[in-house]
Amino acid sequence: MDKLSITGLIVAILAIYLGFSIEGGAVSTLFELPAFIIVFGGTIGAVMLQSSSVQFMHALSLLKWVFTPPKFDIDKGMADIEHWAQQARESGYLVLENIALDIDDSFVNKGLNLLADGIETDQLVTAIELDLELFREHNLRSANIYESMGGYSPTIGILGAVLGLIQAMSNLTDPDMLGQGIAIAFVATIYGVGFANLLYIPIANKLRAIIHEQTMYREMMAQGLIAISQGENPHAITNRLSAFRLQQ
């Protein structure tokens, strides 16, 4: 669980709540279902229109990373690479096929199987670099969906405000309807700007940071697998990969 993300969200909400309360505002006035439907529904509809179904569903699946990000143990990865390099030196590359059976990471699993198949180093480099690039691009496109939501939300908030004012202007003789229309107008604007700057854009940036971290981890594992293919000394491989600790 990412305590920093949870704390940040709580701090942001509390800051708005306390600031509004100190000014004498009633927090209940910030809850307007029509405004929420307009802003949230309109934003979701806009990003669905611009995205493929696969990319949109993948973006939803990445949302859990904000609070429970995947863990990348650099030290364990280096230890695994050194162990695999030693095993390949002592028993040949074919032993890596059995090791791959216990590896859940599809990227590393594929790399070990390619080594076990006796693939040439240049072909291994090409295959690994392609996998890395496609993995990074696929995940970044999903993260960018949340950035798009951050762009659409304020504009749709303004749309909600205009709709609220239209309702208000059409009910000038009815004070209750006039008040409701004005409330929707202002609250829709708050929802649009608030959702964008407190949720959508921070989520996009958080996911991009996690994707960068995961890409760096896979890059380290890729460099290790390539070094194994070239028959490098296990300890020398570990020393070279230790530079990736700086990325943590």
Q: Looking at residue 152, what is its pLDDT? A: 95
**Rounded mean pLDDT of 14-28?**
78
**Rounded mean pLDDT of 104-125?**
88
CA dihedral 205→68→199→50, nearest 10 degrees, is: 70
Distance from C-alpha of 150 to C-alpha of 196, rounded to nearest angstrom: 4
Distance from C-alpha of 86 to C-alpha of 74, rounded to nearest angstrom: 18
Half-sphere exposure of 190 (CA within 13 A, CB side): 18
Distance from C-alpha of 19 to C-alpha of 32, rounded to nearest angstrom: 19
Number of H helices, E strands in the chain: 11, 0
**Rounded mean pLDDT of 151-162?**
92
Q: Looking at residue 181, what is its pLDDT? A: 67
- Percent pLDDT > 70 in the chain is 94
Phi, psi for residue 100 in degrees, rounded to 5: -65, -25
**What value does the mean pLDDT of the chain take?**
87
**pLDDT over 60 at 234, yes or no:** yes
Q: Looking at residue 176, what is its pLDDT? A: 67
Per-residue pLDDT of 170-209, as tens digits, reads 766 666 666 666 777 788 899 999 999 999 999 999 999 9
Question: Is the CB of residue 173 less than 8 Å from the CB of residue 52?
Answer: no
Q: Looking at residue 104, what is its pLDDT? A: 85
Distance from C-alpha of 194 to C-alpha of 40, rounded to nearest angstrom: 11
Chain CA centroid to CA 2, Å? 13
1 burial level (CB within 10 Å; 0-12, 13-18, 19+): exposed
**Rounded mean pLDDT of 146-155?**
95
The dihedral built from the CA positions of residue 234, 228, 83 and 79, taken in this order, carries a sign that is positive
For residue 106, name the pLDDT band (cuts at 50, 70, 90): confident
Among 188, 158, 185, 156, smallest CA distance to 169 is for 185
Distance from C-alpha of 78 to C-alpha of 210, rounded to nearest angstrom: 20
Residue 106, token pair as written in the block: 């599809």
Half-sphere exposure of 128 (CA within 13 A, CB side): 26
Q: Looking at residue 174, what is its pLDDT? A: 67
Residue 3, token pair as written in the block: 């305590």
Per-residue pLDDT of 43-86, as tens digits, reads 999 999 999 999 999 999 999 998 888 888 888 889 999 999 99
Q: Looking at residue 50, what is its pLDDT? A: 92
Distance from C-alpha of 55 to C-alpha of 43, rounded to nearest angstrom: 16
Residue 142, token pair as written in the block: 């999903």
Residue 124, token pair as written in the block: 């291994």
Residue 158, token pair as written in the block: 């303004």
Distance from C-alpha of 125 to C-alpha of 119, rounded to nearest angstrom: 10
